[in-house]
Chain A
Amino acid sequence: MSKIKLAIYLSAGCAGCEMALVDLSEKLIDALENIEIVWWTPTVVDLKYKDLENLEDKSIDVALVDGAVRLSEQEHVIKILRQKTKVLVAFGACAAMGGVPGLANFHKREELLETAYINTWSTDNPDGVLPQTEYDVNGSKLTLPEFYGEVKALHQVVDVDYFIGGCPPHHDHVAVAVEAIIKGELPPKGSWITSGKSVCDSCRRNPAQKGEIRKPIEKVRRTIEGTPDEECLLQQGYLCLGPVTQGDCGGSCPQVNIPCRGCGGPVAGKDFGARAVGALASLMTDEAVDEMLEKIPSLGKFLYRYSLPVSLINRKK
């Protein structure tokens, strides 16, 4: 059997998803018997863009892209990758939903550039110079990629075959996904590779797992306020988004006292933040809702932490 040709590309992300791949450890080594890595740039292999451009169309079997799309350079590479690849996977929260970089869509491009290049106290930029896409130095032209006005998820730029959630995807889930890819046992095109269950479904704190009835949330606590006991975090007032989040992580955050923040992607529906509002407000008392508005500095950033670019209203006008 010929090996599966695999490409991995880090777009606007942090390489955490690639760490999740490396975390497969022995499983990755076993998988390498069936896989040939043809492109893992820029993280692991120093290949140039022309090396990718020179490949034949559809000669790569599977490409994993982690990270959102923020720069013209990333868009360019992803479009070539799409052309060269049979199965393109949006790997992790940024590629699938825009992720943490996508939170930038709460601000306009000008606001971001001003903060980064002019207003921070450590910046020394008296002329207020902002990054230029082209600059002439003694007759030679230097170029930089264009910084787009908004962050996009992968499927907003090219056609995507599969989505995998998580920031990063849990390595056990990556193993399941890689195995499914090797065996060719994949769901219909355009779907998430997921168990389809929520975080609560796999969380041992869930009252339903113990046959108990869920109590309403009467108080809101931030994670810095004390140490939670063994019960459901949400019931104790720690705002856990487990009910509306895909649980391919096995509920790993709530198990170590960290409330779910929604990196797995929405269980169903188009708008993660709106679904979270629906779920939370239904479980909370009026007083708790007021307390939440008081204690959470930015509700939008809190609820759309990983999914703003794919939400229904996905940028600041």
Chain B
Amino acid sequence: MMGEWEPNIIVIACNWCTYQAADLAGSLRYPYPTTVKIIRVPCSGRVEPEFIIETLRNADGVLIGGCHPGDCHYKEGNYKAARRFKLIQKMLVEMGIEPERVRLEWISGSEGLRFAEVMREFDAKIRELGPLRW
């Protein structure tokens, strides 16, 4: 493929908070990079570590978005996600992958602006790191 490299960023967003925030960012016309593609899942607790690793085979960065602690629609899915995330990040480092390529963020349904900001920030970070070659 010709042309300049553009990051491929996958956001796995929980249905109840982060996906709603993305929706709100759209309604309020807060811009965020087109490198971001969103996958909607019921809960950040649904994000199996396997999803993250599988995604990294083709993407340069993965962001998991969930509800703030205490706000999970399923009570504790986000706590589970946080615990898994810590372990996965450690394993990726051992495989020679920069831990900044995976990110976990709590973004509530009312935080449209924050969603757009986090996406811009993450996109900049991934551009700085360059393409992921494993």
| Distance in Å: Cβ of A54 to nearest Cβ of chain B | 42
- The reply to whether B50 and A293 contact each other, CB–CB distance below 8 Å, is no
- The reply to whether A298 and B83 contact each other, CB–CB distance below 8 Å, is no
Interface bits B10-28 vs A (CB < 8 Å: 1, else 0): 0000000000000000000
Query: Out of B79, B84, B91, which one reaches A299, CB within 8 Å?
Result: B91
- The reply to whether A298 and B94 contact each other, CB–CB distance below 8 Å, is yes
Please judge, given known A-B contacts A293-B86, A299-B87, A299-B94, whether A313 and B56 are in contact too, CB under 8 Å: yes
Q: Which of A214-262 contact B (CB under 8 A)?
A: none
Q: Which residues in B have their C-beta under 8 angstroms from that of A317?
A: 95-97, 133-134
For the A-B complex, the count of residue pairs with Cβ-Cβ distances under 8 Å equals 84
| Distance in Å: Cβ of B26 to nearest Cβ of chain A | 32
User: Bound complex: CA of A311 vs CA of B53, how far in Å?
Assistant: 9
Interface bits A36-58 vs B (CB < 8 Å: 1, else 0): 00000000000000000000000
Interface bits A263-284 vs B (CB < 8 Å: 1, else 0): 0000001110111011011101
Cβ of B90 under 8 Å from chain A: yes
- The reply to whether B79 and A289 contact each other, CB–CB distance below 8 Å, is no
Q: Which residues in B have their C-beta under 8 angstroms from that of A274?
A: 48-50, 52-53, 88
Cβ of B37 under 8 Å from chain A: no
User: Bound complex: CA of A158 vs CA of B65, how far in Å?
Assistant: 41
User: Bound complex: CA of A299 vs CA of B83, how far in Å?
Assistant: 14
The residue of chain B having its C-beta at the shortest distance from the C-beta of A271 within the complex is B50
Cβ of B54 under 8 Å from chain A: yes
Q: Which residues in A have their C-beta under 8 angstroms from that of B88?
A: 274, 277
Cβ of A106 under 8 Å from chain B: yes
Cβ of B80 under 8 Å from chain A: yes
The residue of chain B having its C-beta at the shortest distance from the C-beta of A289 within the complex is B83
Q: Which of B48-86 contact A (CB under 8 A)?
A: 48-50, 52-54, 56-57, 79-80, 82-84, 86
**Other A-B pairs beyond A277-B49, A313-B53, 4, CB < 8 Å:** A281-B86, A299-B90, A300-B94, A301-B94
Q: What are 19 A-to-B residue pairs whose CB atoms are below 8 Å?
A: A106-B94, A273-B49, A275-B50, A277-B91, A280-B87, A281-B49, A282-B84, A284-B83, A289-B83, A289-B86, A293-B86, A293-B90, A299-B87, A299-B91, A300-B91, A311-B53, A313-B92, A317-B95, A317-B134
